[in-house]
Structure formats: structure tokens, C-alpha cells
Copies of this chain bind each other. A is one copy, B any other.
Amino acid sequence: MSDPRPIGVFDSGVGGLTVLSEIRDRLPFEHTIYFGDTARVPYGVRDLSEVRWFTFEIVRYLIGQNVKLVVIACNTATAAALKAVQRSFDVPIVGVIEPGARAAVVDTIGRRVGVLATEGTVASGAYGRAVKSLDAGIQVYEQACPEFVPLIEQGIVDGPELEAVALRYLAPMMERRVDAVILGCTHYPLISSVINRILGPEVRLISSAGQTALEVRSILSRRSYLRRPQHPDDTGLATYVCSASPDEFAALGSRFMEEEIQAVSPAVVV
């Protein structure tokens, strides 16, 4: 049996491409369709109810594209809407918060976990709940980092300006001696070297991307939803769609994917 339907992945912009990249590495024969909501990026500063509305629109759009599974590759949208869309649709829907929380629970030795995320994600408290549901004895310190996404989207992923901002966000967390820090926004893996340098080698940095990809693989494989290739070179197609500025999306996205993004179709989902 072979299921050729694509996997749908979405984010407010390009950040979710870090998750898509891990999925394509682990499931090279799967077709994927990525939706970046570039017309309304960023989500992190918006009301959660507004983000929930956007998420419903985009999940509906992807299901209209006949996807077999949806990945909400955006922490803010996961925090705002995962449970609501899971209740409303029949396809399996996977978020990025629980996989990251799970990795942190395994990684922390002193049972002190830090979370770097957008204001929306921190306000939702979703990471704290997810970590404590796995180990109620873990202390969780969440830090909103509103300046990271604008800097990263300008291409500033290193240098003194970013370092100063990062140090400000990380200092309170270091004082509390966290030993595992979740990058709770899909943009942040691009600045992980700076964060790593400040936190030092004893602190583990956790990106949800890899964990999420593993979960996608196990769900598809247990349901016999995997696509079987015709021959070893029959790799899956990657389709990219965004809601505005396709050229900018392709340029910035190529950096996230570490390969060139060729075709981007603009789409209106509302």
C-alpha cells in the first residue's frame, strides 16, 4: 500500500521550514506542501483568538489540498489552536510544543527547564503545562523574546546587536541554573549558535523540529499512510505556498531549508 497524499506543514512565515527540513530528511519519499502565512506574519504578537482563527483557515485550506496529516510548525499557533483543530477535523494534526517539552524532560538533569518563545506562546502557558504533565517536579522558566523574530527576519543571526538582546533574555534564566532550554519558536534554531555561546556547553538546547518529525513518521507508519517510492530516486515533491511576497519568501526560505526554494505559489486562504 502506498499513500501519495502530501503532508501539510504551516507556519506564520518561514520559521516552520526548520520543521519541514527535518521531515524531508527523515521521510524523503513524502510529498509535502508548506504554507507560510506571510501576509499576516508575525503571529507571536497577536491575540491568541486571532491566531486560532487563522489556524482554522489554513488547516481547512490544507485539507482542501488533500493532505494526509497536518503539522502546525508554529509554536504560537500550536499554543492557540492545536486542541481546537484536533477536535474539529478528522486528519491527524501534530503541533510542536509537546515534542519539544518531551525532549526537555529527558534532557534536564537538575530538573530546571528554560523556554524561549514569543509573547503569545509564553502568555498561553502551554510549555509549562506540557512539561509538568510529563514530570510535575520540573521547574519551568519561560521568557518572552519579542525582539528575536524581527532581527532574524532582517537576516541578523549573529553579531553584537543580537548578542546584547540575547544576553538580556538569557541572564535571568542562567541565574536560575536551567540546564535545558527549549527554543520555543521555529525561528530560533537560526540563532542557536549565539544562544549556545551565551549559555555554555553544559546547557542543552532543544529544537522541536527533529522531535516533531519523528512523531510524524511514527503516526504515518503505524497507519500505513507512508508513500512507497517507485524507485530509489523517486523522492517526494516539495510545494511551497504563501499568502504574500513570494519572492521574499523564496529568498529567506532558501536559507532556512539550506537548499534553494524554486517555485512558490501565492494563495489566498480566507
A residues apposed to B, CB below 8 Å: 82-84, 86-90, 92-93, 98, 106-107, 109, 111, 130, 133-138, 218-219, 222-223
Contacts and interface: CB of A to CB of B under 8 A. Distances in A.
B87 A136 contact: yes
B136 A83 contact: yes
A5 to B, nearest CB: 15
A106 B106 CA distance: 20
A117 to B, nearest CB: 19
A133 B135 contact: no
A137 B106 contact: no
A211 to B, nearest CB: 11
B136 A106 contact: no
B109 A223 contact: yes
Given A87-B137, A88-B137, 9 more contacts: A86-B137, A89-B137, A93-B135, A98-B134, A106-B218, A106-B219, A106-B222, A109-B223, A133-B133
Contacts of A93: 135, 137
Majority SS at the chain A contact face: helix
A259 B23 CA distance: 42
Nearest to A135: B86
A107 B137 contact: no
Contact of A136 (B86, B130, B223): B86
A114 to B, nearest CB: 17
Most B CB contacts (10 A, CB to CB) among A83, A88, A106, A137 go to: A137
Q: Which 8 A-B pairs have the closest CB atoms?
A: A83-B136, A86-B137, A86-B136, A87-B137, A106-B222, A87-B136, A106-B218, A86-B135
A136 B82 contact: yes
A214 to B, nearest CB: 11
A216 to B, nearest CB: 11
A241 to B, nearest CB: 25
6 contacts: A83-B136, A86-B136, A92-B135, A93-B135, A98-B134, A109-B223
Contacts of A223: 109
A183 to B, nearest CB: 17
A88 B83 CA distance: 30
A119 to B, nearest CB: 24
A87 B87 CA distance: 31
Contacts of A218: 106
Contacts of A138: 86
Contacts of A109: 223
A107 B223 CA distance: 7
